[in-house]
Structure 1
Amino acid sequence: MAEQTAIEWTDATWNPVTGCDKISPGCLRCYAERFSERFRGVPGHPFEHGFDLRLRPERLDQPLKWKAPRRIFVNSMSDLFHKGVPDEFVGRVFDVMEQASHHVFQVLTKRSSRMATFTRRRYGEAIPPANVWLGVSVEDGLRKGRIAHLRRTAAAVRFLSVEPLIGPMGEIDLSNIDWVIVGGESGPGHRPMLPEWVDEVQEQCAEQSVAFFFKQWGGIRPKANGRLLKGREWNEFPGERNEIAA
């Protein structure tokens, strides 16, 4: 069975890599690190080594065993394009995603430049697989350079995870971007997300005809303050925009 998840925009998670390290302010209160470090030193536990980067080759074939189609978030507990993950191993992950074409794979990274370079080298002038969605995390307007890298990425579907949104994004060029997810931070010491920051992103998605998904307001727990924005839930996916006026 796939690892179960409460993440609203996916059905399951697959972690052929675990562990990571911080590279920007959005990483400060990483939920994956907080979870993993609880088990550091527990013999035999999957996170016996805490949040240290670990390749998990024994997990590579998991999606091939899952017969029912589903959306799969790749490396919810890591970053596939971390510098410590060899290109050869990244390639093996892509091999599985391409082979398991009955699933949709959602890959998210903050190492956007490496993703762009890897995919352009892998696919060249070929059409990238339709079931592999590639995205970048962008937590505020200072990190928009990752969006430019995403536009250079060879992908059938490109998306942004604006989570945790910890500052205003400002004007966003969403050309060649198919989907935007927004969410607030959760957990101890969570940083607030102002409504006007969310409105600014949602309205630009509407203006530029980009699917918009509002995940959560955040709080001490992820679902503490609900998911309603402007009196409704926003659950749009690429190719499934609801034409409702902002």
Structure 2
Amino acid sequence: MADTTPIEWTDSTWNPVTGCSKITAGCDFCYAERFSERFRGVGGHPFEGGFDLTLRPARLSQPLQWRQPRRIFVNSMSDLFHKEVPFSFIDHVFDTMEQANWHTYQVLTKRSSLLVRYLRRRYVDGLAPPHIWLGVSIENQDNAVRLKHLKLAHASVKFVSFEPLIGSVGPVDLKGIDWAIVGGESGPRARPMAEEWALEIRDYCRKDGVAFFFKQWGGIRPKSGGRKLKGREWNEYPPIGPQLEPTAA
């Protein structure tokens, strides 16, 4: 759990699961894998097992320790809806998010069909509470089906991370989506992002009334290309209700 993070659209990260496996082109040069594998075999290090999928039950209660409300990116080093994460463990993650309801949680997945299935199971006759934002990653037109899945999800707040944006997403209907993030890839083998790919998403957001956040151009380092699109920073967030006060410990 990181009290601070360089990720521009969140305040902190919480990783009750770490490690993952690649499923699409957006995973090719994964920053989390690159970081984790540096420590494989280092005894006593949290990433001694590299990027192997690892459940970390000792971390499940961590958000309860933070009394000041904040945005928390859930599983920045994994995918909560990886097929090898049991629904029973995901239940514990959601239990914590529901209990520590003074925070806003940002849950992002590439396994959109499993997201839909899980939310239908947990919220049979309703929606996930609005302080739990549910989102999918889409890196190009090949994975636009994740948007269709997200629209079916029992979520109150829905968002899409177009990151790393490695191709045009083509025509997209963002009606019913609350937030869109766009960002280029970073790292030693970063694939460049064309301006027109970012602008077409921005324009779809404008058309459909979706908050738009431009994270980065990317490059060798995340900050290499800066954050300005057409001469300005885009830091929009979806409107949410008033933050709740922390419940009694």
Query: Do these two structures clear the TM 0.5 threshold for a shared fold by scoring above it?
Result: yes
Q: CA deviation at 1:3?
A: 3.5
Q: Which residue type is aligned with residue 174 of structure 1? A: L
Aligned counterpart, 1:91:
91
Aligned counterpart, 1:191:
191
Aligned counterpart, 1:210:
210
Q: Distance in 1 between matches of 2:58 and 2:37?
A: 22
TM-score of the superposed pair, with normalisation by structure 2? 0.95
Q: Which residue type is aligned with residue 101 of structure 2? A: S
Confirm or deny that 1:144 pairs with 2:139: no
Q: Which residue type is aligned with residue 186 of structure 2? A: S
Q: 1:172-225 CA deviation, whole Å, 9 max, x = no partner?
A: 011211000000000011000000111111011001110000000000000011
Q: 1:121-147 CA deviation, whole Å, 9 max, x = no partner?
A: 110112421110000000001101000
| Long gaps (5+) in structure 1 | 241-246
Aligned counterpart, 1:54:
54
Query: 1:92-171 to 2 correspondence within 5 Å?
Result: 92-171=92-171
Confirm or deny that 1:16 pairs with 2:16: yes
| Alignment length (residue pairs) | 240
Q: Distance in 1 between matches of 2:211 and 2:130?
A: 17
Q: Distance in 1 between matches of 2:124 and 2:235?
A: 33
Higher alpha-carbon deviation: 26-35 or 167-176: 167-176
Q: Distance in 1 between matches of 2:2 and 2:139?
A: 28
Q: Distance in 1 between matches of 2:127 and 2:39?
A: 42
Higher alpha-carbon deviation: 2-11 or 101-110: 2-11
Q: Secondary structure at the match of 1:148?
A: helix
2:18 and 2:78 in contact (8 A); partners too:
yes
| Long gaps (5+) in structure 2 | 241-249
2:133 and 2:156 in contact (8 A); partners too:
yes
Q: Distance in 1 between matches of 2:209 and 2:10?
A: 22
Q: Secondary structure at the match of 1:88?
A: helix
1:81 and 1:114 in contact (8 A); partners too:
yes
Q: Secondary structure at the match of 1:131?
A: strand
Q: CA deviation at 1:2?
A: 4.1
Q: CA deviation at 1:64?
A: 0.5
Aligned counterpart, 2:70:
70
1:2 and 1:66 in contact (8 A); partners too:
no
Confirm or deny that 1:26 pairs with 2:26: yes
Q: 1:17-37 CA deviation, whole Å, 9 max, x = no partner?
A: 000000000000000000000
Q: Which residue type is aligned with residue 38 of structure 1? A: R
Q: CA deviation at 1:230?
A: 1.0
Q: Distance in 2 between matches of 1:10 and 1:125?
A: 30
1:184 and 1:216 in contact (8 A); partners too:
yes
Q: CA deviation at 1:119?
A: 0.3
